Structure 1
Amino acid sequence: MVYPSARDWLFSVKTFAAAMLALYLGLLFELPRPYWAMASVYIVSNPFVGATRSKALYRALGTALGAAGAILLVPPFVEMPLLFSIVVATWTGTLLYLAISDRTARSYVFMLAGYTMPLIALPTVTDPATVFDVAIARTEEIVLGIVCASVVGSAVLPSRLAPTLIERTDAWFRDAAFYGRETLSGHIAGAAISACRQRLAATVNGLEFLLSQLSYDHTHPQILERAEALRGRMMLFLPIMSSLADPMIALMRDLKVRPPGLDELLADTAQWFGAPLTHAPDSDAQASNAAVDALHARIAALQPGGDALASWQGALLSNALWRLGQMIDIWQDCRALRASISQESATWRPRFRHWRLGGTERYFDRGIMAFSTASAVGAIIVACGLWISSGWHDGAGAVTLAAVACCFFASLDEPAPQVFRFFVATAVAVVIAGLYLFVVLPRVHDFTMLVVMFAGPFILVGTLIPRPQFNLVTMLVAVNTATFISIQGAYDADFLVFLNSNIAGVVGLLFAFLWTRVTRPFGAELAAARLLRSSWADVALTASTQPIADQRNLASRMLDRLMQLIPRLAASDDHRHPSIESFRDLRIALNALDLRRSRHRLTGELPATIDGVLAGVSRYYAGCADRRARQPVPPALMATIDDALGRVTSHAAATTRAVNAEGPAASTALRASQRWLRETRHALVGLRLSLFPAAAGQPPQPASEAQA
């Protein structure tokens, strides 16, 4: 068992102090529900001041928006119960959709506005004249709790987010170093490697939300920019490393060729990958850059030339060395960015420069999002119908907590287990609140004694809130206990009233659990299948003749989708596992985009030859998307790629001879043509290896031989 750390105890004591301050001020100002101020402290508090500030700001905005919605919608619809239920559900569903469309901390504004409106509106339907007073009071109480949490969190030993960013990236570096060493050793499959791949993707996904909170931590804008650059390169690490593995395995395992010096280069690179991370000053950064330059010099020395480059063995070696150089630059950038974020004053210059960097588009499965929203809307309408037909006076509490639960977990693939945890935590909170209300509080005669009675349990529970595995349950226990006790200026407790009002919330959560179990039973399998089909459609787009407005954003969207897909796929030691296949799909798409960019710089029959390759790739992936299943790759496509490789290689050889003949006097256009032909050959080799991994050891056949 891992006991709470000093930081956990500090957070818990600070949160409890802020909660008691909010409760005291709420009682002092005679607010109608001062316990909401106390509960709000536990909702917004975070061990890190930047996260607390961002959540506090967005909770204040969301509460105000939800309160305004209640004031606007209750009076005109209160006499039409069914229509009013639909209006409330539509409001909540619309804002819920906006919330799950935003992966930053800003999404909390929409989420809170979505379920705050029914929290205010539904209990006031029997007395609509009070809706304005209730909305104002709730806003005041929540803002009071927010202010107390922010002030105490910022003033008393504040913890910054930047060190946490370094901690999380260090965990990524450890996994990435292992993954890199295994790949450089020729291992791309296995349960340990697949699990590592999942952790790498999950870490990158988690950083997106963390970075959205970093600006509230008084972080310098330059550090924010570098943190985004670091995440971008972390996302590229997996696909670039996987594209390095293909030619290396084909060369060493299938062809059983080990060019002199390659093993030593790979071993030294793997050792460099595992070098300890440091908060390196500029002098150490210069030494690291010198080591990278030395590795690049060794790569250049191993590059095949002349007739060797025209062979399949030479093409594989050239491709592997090219990818290795990219991987070294990405890794060096990641290390340098980490050091510059840690130091804040360190300089940084990127080594990896590529058109794929800079895209900002993210992938959203709008169909799943719409279905999740519709499920929450349906739950609210059905719960309202049951409440209205039953005539249960306190049934509004059941509807509101059902709405909260459906909103909280709408973005999950399978929300039912988390809703059930919400139900259990709420039931526990009802028991604790009952013990306090009817056993402890009758013996409390002043606020000091109340603080003493609250201190032990709340501080102990608070130490578990920072831990991800306990965060949800412990936060809900603290918030619901504070709410269910319903502290007022004078003790006035009625057991039947307490039982009736709080059982309503438990019943509402039980309904939400059953509803989500029935309407959303699909789990991660459905989401993964939809992600795969969407990725196939985008691969078909990359190889088609359709215009692409921004290739960077298309690549960014595909990479983001892959980062969502990998954690949904179980770890496996299967070489044909969907996670490995998905990396191949992405590599095919990126190689197709490279071909689209280079074909305009080619001459003669080469553009038409490249068009034939792209058309074959596009047809194949369009067929996969249409049939909703991965299909066997048609053998004719390999013949088309082999023919294109032969033609490009012939043109490249002729261009190289011309450059060598002219020497330093060779024209800029001739050298540019040589570069574009080299990149085209790399893309074609990448396509062949990704589409036909089983034929990696089989040299391309000329068109005449293939036809014979």
Structure 2
Amino acid sequence: MVYPSLRDWLFSVKTFAAAMLALYLGLLFELPRPYWAMATVYIVSNPFVGATRSKALYRALGTALGASAAVLFVPPFVESPYLFSVVVALWTGTLLYLAISDRTARSYVFMLAGYTMPLIALPAVFNPTNVFDLAITRTEEILLGIVCASVVGGAVFPNRLAPSIVERTDGWFRDAVFYATETLSGHIAGASISACRQRLAATVNGLELLLSQLAYDHTRPDILNRTRDLRGRMQLLLPIMSSLADPLVALLGGQRERPAGLEPLLADVVKWFNMPLRPASQGRRPDPEADALRGRIAALQPPSAALATWEGALLSNALWRLAQLIDVWQDCRALRHLITAEDGTWKPRFRHWRLGGTERYFDRGIMLFSTASAVGAIIFACVLWISSGWNDGAGAVTLAAVACCFFAGLDDPAPQVFKFFTATAASVALAGLYLFVVLPHVHDFPMLVILFAGPFILVGTLIPRPQFNLATMLVAVNTATFISIQDAYDADFFVFLNSNLAGLAGLLYAFLWTQATRPFGAEIAARRLMRSSWADVALSASKQPIEDQRNLAARMLDRLMQLIPRLAATDDHRHPSIESFRDLRIAFNALDLRRLRPKLGGEAPAAIDGVLDGIRAHFETCISRRGRQQVPESLMSAIDAALARIVALGLANAAGAANAPDAAGAAGAPNAAGTPNAPSSAATSARQLRDALHALVGLRLSLFPATIASLTPPAPPTEEPAA
């Protein structure tokens, strides 16, 4: 068992002090429900100042918006209870959809506005004339708790968010080192490697929310931008490593003779990856090890003539990807130094047309279904409440609405809703113990603080831990709410029992509803993500115009980061994450070919068209048949034919350059005016042909990984004799 750390105890004591301050001020100002101020402190408090401030601001905005909606909708619809139920449900559903469409801290505004409206509006149906006062006092109580949590959290031993992000990235660095070590050793599969991929993706996904809170941590804009740059390169490392794995397996496995110098180079790259991160004071120093590795990569590059063999083509592809990997890793290390030191400038090593996209992927179908499930739950609960005439039924509906909103973004929300139910049941028991056993003997506020201190501080030490966060936060919030402390002791056992049993009934109803309407879990989400990725692969290989290829690449990469954890949560081993990486590489290589095609001459464009058409047709078949299909052999033939055309062009260019040494030597040399000559078209074409060759080799390896050990040379096509 891991006991709470000093940081956990400090957070708990600070939160308890803020909660007692909020409760005291609520009693002093004679607010009707001062316990809401106390509960709000536990809702918005976070171990980090930036997260607390952002959550406090967004909760204030969400509460004000939800309260305003209650004031707007209650008077005109209160006489039509069933219609009013639909209005409440649609409001909550609309705001819930907006909340799950925003993966930043700002989503809290919409979430709070969504379920605050029924929290205020439903109890007000019995006294609609009081809805304005109820909305105002509820807002005041919550704002009081927000202010107390923010002031105490920011003034007493504030804990900044930026160091925590550095700690998380350091964990990512350790996982990346292990993943690189295994990949560069020729290992691409296994339980430990799969688990490492999942941790890498989870860290990248988790940083998105933290970065949205970092701006509230008094972090300078340049450091915030560097942190975003670091996350972007962390996201790129996985697909680059995956694209390097297949050519390495082909070169180092089987009976093929291994290229001279490659294995020592890979071993030294692994050593460089395992070098400890430099202290912040050394972050701006150059990285001579990386420069030396790049020089060795350049020295191992095969000549143009060697690209006519698979060994040469594979080696060229592997070295190209290895250079990209070194550039990205050097950028990650440099950015980590700059973020830690909060000083210095950065010149990126990795530059690519795919960088800079901002688009994210959202499964709108799943989101709409989740929202519709919550809307249906609220409407049906209201119908049960209205038809039964249950006076305390409003409490059941409101807690059901809160539970459905809280976990709507999860693939399988039912287990979390049940945790909500069990935590609330524990809160009811604890609140009953306090209300009917302890509080009758309390006669002043200091004694109340002393009696609250033990349980609340102990529970508070577990809130910072992710595995206990939900349950312990709910226990603290619900216990404070259920005790319902007023300026004078006034407890009725039957009122307490009826109101809290209504809440438990609402949560149990939410659990049963969620299990009935959303029993699918992560499997269906993974399948939908897979089919969506196939659609983008088909788009990448089509002739359809793409408005912004960078945004398309960003969307595909973001979807892959969502898919990897879901694949780990399913029992379907037919679609492991390694195949999803290959799908992404196929799309990226197809996009590269689309960009290169107009610049190539001869018969290469027609051959590339045949490859792209085959890729598009294959993935459209996968989509229509709702499952991964075997890649047709005709596509392999098309790729090999395109490779042969590219090799033929490369050999022709090399021969032309050899026959014109003077022209080749003059390219780039100063002319009479002292300015460099333009490079020859042959030299430019050679770079483009090599890029096309890399894309085609990547497609061959990704689409037909089972044939890696039996590749045959892409010999140039035989020309037909002249008539």
Q: State if a TM-score over 0.5 links the two structures.
A: yes
Which of 390, 396, 399 aligns to 1:398? It is 396
- 2:612 maps to 1:600: no
Q: Aligned with 1:352: secondary structure?
A: coil
Report if the CA contact (8 A) 1:191-1:571 is conserved: no
Report if the CA contact (8 A) 1:416-1:516 is conserved: yes
Compute the displacement of 1:702 (Å): 5.1
Compute the displacement of 1:21 (Å): 0.5
Which of 706, 712, 716 aligns to 1:694? It is 706
Compute the displacement of 1:453 (Å): 0.7
Q: Give the Cα–Cα distance (whole angstroms) in 2 for the partners of residues 306 and 405 of structure 1.
A: 64
Compute the displacement of 1:38 (Å): 0.3
Letter in 1 for 2:647: T
Residue 162 of structure 1 aligns with which residue?
162
Compute the displacement of 1:605 (Å): 2.2
Q: Aligned with 2:285: secondary structure?
A: helix
Residue 668 of structure 1 aligns with which residue?
679
Report if the CA contact (8 A) 2:604-2:645 is conserved: yes
Compute the displacement of 1:347 (Å): 2.3
Cα gap change, 1:535 to 1:527, in 2 (>3 Å): same
Residue 361 of structure 1 aligns with which residue?
359
Q: Quick check: 562-571 or 451-460, which moved more?
A: 562-571
Residue 673 of structure 2 aligns with which residue?
none
Deviations 1:576-619 (A, max 9, x none): 75211100000000000000111121123222221111111011
Q: Give the Cα–Cα distance (whole angstroms) in 2 for the partners of residues 110 and 307 of structure 1.
A: 61
Q: Aligned with 1:628: secondary structure?
A: coil
Report if the CA contact (8 A) 2:8-2:464 is conserved: yes
Deviations 1:381-435 (A, max 9, x none): 0100111111111110000000000000000000000000000000000010011
Q: Give the Cα–Cα distance (whole angstroms) in 2 for the partners of residues 285 and 675 of structure 1.
A: 32
Q: Give the Cα–Cα distance (whole angstroms) in 2 for the partners of residues 160 and 413 of structure 1.
A: 32
Report if the CA contact (8 A) 1:409-1:418 is conserved: yes
Q: Aligned with 2:50: secondary structure?
A: helix
Compute the displacement of 1:356 (Å): 1.0
Q: Quick check: 644-653 or 410-419, which moved more?
A: 644-653
Compute the displacement of 1:574 (Å): 11
Q: Give the Cα–Cα distance (whole angstroms) in 1 for the partners of residues 402 and 571 of structure 2.
A: 40
Report if the CA contact (8 A) 2:400-2:507 is conserved: yes
Which of 519, 523, 526 aligns to 2:524? It is 526
Cα gap change, 1:571 to 1:426, in 2 (>3 Å): closer
Q: Trace 1:219-238 onto structure 2 (pairs within 5 A).
A: 219-238=219-238
Q: Aligned with 1:159: secondary structure?
A: coil
Residue 408 of structure 1 aligns with which residue?
406
Q: Aligned with 2:186: secondary structure?
A: coil
Which of 657, 682, 691 aligns to 2:694? It is 682
Deviations 1:246-287 (A, max 9, x none): 1111111135321111111000100111111233434x6434
Residue 566 of structure 1 aligns with which residue?
564
Report if the CA contact (8 A) 1:191-1:573 is conserved: no
Compute the displacement of 1:672 (Å): 2.0
Compute the displacement of 1:673 (Å): 1.6
Deviations 1:299-334 (A, max 9, x none): 011111142222111000000000000001101100
Which of 426, 429, 435 aligns to 1:428? It is 426
Report if the CA contact (8 A) 1:189-1:575 is conserved: no
Cα gap change, 1:143 to 1:194, in 2 (>3 Å): same
Deviations 1:214-266 (A, max 9, x none): 00000000111011111111111110001001111111113532111111100
Residue 317 of structure 2 aligns with which residue?
319
Q: Trace 1:188-587 onto structure 2 (pairs within 5 A).
A: 188-282=188-282, 285-287=284-286, 289-570=287-568, 577-587=575-585
Q: Give the Cα–Cα distance (whole angstroms) in 2 for the partners of residues 26 and 669 of structure 1.
A: 79
Cα gap change, 1:510 to 1:250, in 2 (>3 Å): same
Q: Quick check: 249-258 or 146-155, which moved more?
A: 249-258
Residue 28 of structure 1 aligns with which residue?
28
Report if the CA contact (8 A) 1:330-1:351 is conserved: yes
Compute the displacement of 1:550 (Å): 0.4
Report if the CA contact (8 A) 2:664-2:680 is conserved: no
Report if the CA contact (8 A) 2:198-2:565 is conserved: yes
Task: Specify every segment of 5 or more residues in structure 1 that has no aligned partner in the other structure, as ranges.
Answer: none
Letter in 2 for 1:663: A
Q: Aligned with 1:236: secondary structure?
A: helix
Report if the CA contact (8 A) 1:44-1:149 is conserved: yes
Q: Give the Cα–Cα distance (whole angstroms) in 2 for the partners of residues 622 and 170 of structure 1.
A: 41
Q: Give the Cα–Cα distance (whole angstroms) in 2 for the partners of residues 235 and 536 of structure 1.
A: 20
Residue 674 of structure 2 aligns with which residue?
none
Letter in 2 for 1:665: A
Q: Give the Cα–Cα distance (whole angstroms) in 1 for the partners of residues 73 and 350 of structure 2.
A: 54
Aligned residues: 705
Q: Give the Cα–Cα distance (whole angstroms) in 2 for the partners of residues 659 and 494 of structure 1.
A: 97
Residue 2 of structure 1 aligns with which residue?
2
Report if the CA contact (8 A) 1:64-1:139 is conserved: yes
Report if the CA contact (8 A) 1:639-1:703 is conserved: no
Question: What TM-score do the two structures reach when normalised by structure 2?
Answer: 0.96
Cα gap change, 1:576 to 1:432, in 2 (>3 Å): closer
Deviations 1:4-45 (A, max 9, x none): 000000000000000000000000110110000000000000
Cα gap change, 1:422 to 1:617, in 2 (>3 Å): same
Q: Give the Cα–Cα distance (whole angstroms) in 2 for the partners of residues 115 and 310 of structure 1.
A: 65
Q: Give the Cα–Cα distance (whole angstroms) in 2 for the partners of residues 413 and 278 of structure 1.
A: 40
- 2:56 maps to 1:45: no
Report if the CA contact (8 A) 1:190-1:574 is conserved: no
Report if the CA contact (8 A) 1:639-1:701 is conserved: no
Letter in 2 for 1:268: D
Compute the displacement of 1:346 (Å): 2.5
Compute the displacement of 1:700 (Å): 4.5
Q: Trace 1:101-112 onto structure 2 (pairs within 5 A).
A: 101-112=101-112
Residue 671 of structure 2 aligns with which residue?
none
Report if the CA contact (8 A) 2:96-2:405 is conserved: yes
Q: Aligned with 2:568: secondary structure?
A: coil
Q: Give the Cα–Cα distance (whole angstroms) in 2 for the partners of residues 555 and 681 of structure 1.
A: 21
Q: Aligned with 2:253: secondary structure?
A: helix
Letter in 2 for 1:527: A
Report if the CA contact (8 A) 2:240-2:325 is conserved: yes
Report if the CA contact (8 A) 1:414-1:522 is conserved: yes
Question: What TM-score do the two structures reach when normalised by structure 1?
Answer: 0.98
- 2:650 maps to 1:652: yes
Report if the CA contact (8 A) 1:646-1:702 is conserved: yes
Letter in 2 for 1:684: L
Residue 64 of structure 1 aligns with which residue?
64
Cα gap change, 1:576 to 1:267, in 2 (>3 Å): farther
Q: Quick check: 478-487 or 564-573, which moved more?
A: 564-573
Report if the CA contact (8 A) 2:294-2:323 is conserved: yes
Report if the CA contact (8 A) 1:602-1:673 is conserved: yes
Q: Aligned with 1:251: secondary structure?
A: helix
Q: Give the Cα–Cα distance (whole angstroms) in 1 for the partners of residues 617 and 611 of structure 2.
A: 10
Report if the CA contact (8 A) 1:39-1:482 is conserved: yes
Q: Give the Cα–Cα distance (whole angstroms) in 1 for the partners of residues 121 and 257 of structure 2.
A: 73
Letter in 1 for 2:285: Q
